[in-house]
Amino acid sequence: MSAKSSHVYEALEHVVAPSTADVILRGPLVPEGCIVELKVMRVIDLTTANKTMRLGFERAGVQHWFRRRNAGTGNYDLHLEAWLILRAGERPIAMVESPTAGDDLWFFARGYCLKV
């Protein structure tokens, strides 16, 4: 299997937390016939530090978390430390646990979609 061509894959989601319930931010599904190599993936709370945050991916409605930063570390963000490969039907996701109502939350991911 060889890559035929590629284009940029981007995910950008902004949410103002409506309550203190966990917020999950999602990127678009990887289209059929593509494999995505993510180079950048980050979740940011621009308002309040010290939130527990997670990064992961979703496959067939099941969430898989691979990176977590606990509250109490003074962090405003969590980012991908290496690249991530996603297959067709998967999507990058992030979670901010128990945000403060009104928190300004951002999620973005960027990489290349290789046509196979």
Is the pLDDT assigned to residue 2 strictly greater than 90?
A: no
Q: Does the predicted TM-score (pTM) go above 0.85?
A: yes
Q: Read off the DSSP letter of residue 71.
A: T
Is the pLDDT assigned to residue 1 strictly greater than 80?
A: no
SS3 60: coil
* Model pLDDT, residue 5: 64
The token duo for 76 is: 């405003």
Average pLDDT, the chain: 92
Residue ranges and CATH numbers for the domains of the chain are 6-115 (2.60.120)
Element (H, E) at 115: strand 104-115
* Model pLDDT, residue 39: 94
The mean per-residue pLDDT over the stretch 44-65 comes to 94
The mean per-residue pLDDT over the stretch 64-75 comes to 88
